[in-house]
Amino acid sequence: MSRTTADPTATPPESVTGAVTDTDTATGTATETAADTGAVTVLGLGQLGTTLARAFLAAGHATTVWNRSPRKAGSLVAEGAAAAASLTGALAAGPLVVIAVSDYAAVRELLEPVADRLRGKVLVNLTSGTPEQARAEAAWAGQHGAAYLDGAAMSGTRIVGTPEALFVFSGAPEVFEARRGVLAALGNALLVGPDAGAAAVYDTALFGLAWGALAGFHHAVALTGAEGVDPVAFATVAAGHMPFVTGLMVTHADHVATGRYPDDDGTVDVHAAALEHLAESSRVRGIGTELPDMVRALLARASAAGHGADGIAAVAEAFHTAQEQNHA
């Protein structure tokens, strides 16, 4: 999940100074050789930005860092990073600029004073936000001659730099492909679409998916714990069960895409009855029923829409019903 701690202080000082790299104003292409060496600049040294910089360094990329609070760069300098004394100096270090700050407002506040220095740069924004914000930022960057990729760190910070760390990006495919080698230092770098807002869509969707799974897990731990089951023992069994669950996701995606809901894994009404058992078992043990109640409501809505005898993937129709009600 991308909801990691960015640096809220990573906003520009009132004035910035420093040399800038020459650019071809006709083409917006940086003339520096850093594009060929994989050099990267990281703006913002909160939890995420610091971890990103370390991953670039570990992969052998020349890494320049900048933060409003220079002391945050100390440990990275000891590991081989170059600390820029100013924001313009950081931008001059190379054409690839990775941004990890608190929100999109901070991104704009950071870049607005140095907008004339952005031509020829590739901005990679790993700040969490909405698809609309990402599209607006991409348009603003384009107006100032910069290419733009939006992105999200989907695996927190603990495993950044390993193949298991998922980073989703969106924007022009040619821009992504040109920088894929450097971005791969962060983990599994995946382009999810040419629309700048696509990464934010995946970010929020996967965030919700992860929390849905975690909420189910913690409810299950509470339920089994009430019967004396060790949480670690339960987690071992649950982890072994998850490939079946993820397999259902793939199968259900096909059902949703075709609009056909075979009942191979039970019907909506059968699962609704099973949810009654889960809610009752939780209630008598003093466990909150918010989670099973929510799922029961979704199944009830799908059944009311005529899908009671359909397979459980038909619960997808409950969300469409909710959309229709919200727009009524």
| DSSP type of residue 286 | T
User: How far apart (Å, rounded) are the C-alpha atoms in residues 93 and 37?
Assistant: 12
Same domain, 189 and 284: no
Dig out the tokens for 73 from the structure: 């760069």
Same domain, 254 and 319: yes
User: How far apart (Å, rounded) are the C-alpha atoms in residues 70 and 77?
Assistant: 11
CATH of the domain at 118: 3.40.50.720
Same domain, 190 and 235: no
Alpha helices in 59-99 (DSSP H): 74-78, 87-92
Residue 260 is predicted with a pLDDT of 97
Dig out the tokens for 142 from the structure: 């384009």
With H, G, I as helix, E, B as strand and everything else as coil, classify residue 16: coil
Same domain, 133 and 77: yes
| E runs forming strands in 204-320 | none
User: How far apart (Å, rounded) are the C-alpha atoms in residues 25 and 145?
Assistant: 9
With H, G, I as helix, E, B as strand and everything else as coil, classify residue 193: strand
Exposed e or buried b for every residue in 263-293, given b needs 16+ CB within 10 A? eeeebbbbbbeebeebbeebeeeebebebbe
Instruction: Tally the C-alpha atoms within 13 A of residue 18's C-alpha that lie toward its C-beta.
Output: 18
Same domain, 285 and 136: no
Same domain, 231 and 100: no
Same domain, 50 and 125: yes
Is 178 domain-assigned?
Answer: yes
The secondary structure of 107-168, three-state, reads: HHHHHHHHHHHCCCCEEEECCCCCHHHHHHHHHHHHHCCCEEEEEEECCCCCCCCCCCCEEE
User: How far apart (Å, rounded) are the C-alpha atoms in residues 229 and 85?
Assistant: 55
Residue 274 is predicted with a pLDDT of 97
Same domain, 163 and 244: no
Total tally of structural domains belonging to the chain: 2
User: Which residue bears the tokens 């339960």?
Assistant: 234
Q: How far is CA 171 from the centre of its chain?
A: 15
CATH of the domain at 247: 1.10.1040.10
CB within 8 Å of 141: residues ≥ 6 apart: 118, 123, 147, 148
With beta carbons less than 8 A apart as the criterion, state whether 48 and 72 touch.
Answer: no
Instruction: Give me the residues of the chain with pLDDT under 70, please.
Output: 1-37, 321-328
Q: How far is CA 167 from the centre of its chain?
A: 7
With beta carbons less than 8 A apart as the criterion, state whether 67 and 49 touch.
Answer: yes
pTM reported for the whole predicted model: 0.85
Q: Which domain holds residue 141?
A: 23-194
Residue 23 is predicted with a pLDDT of 32
Is 205 domain-assigned?
Answer: no
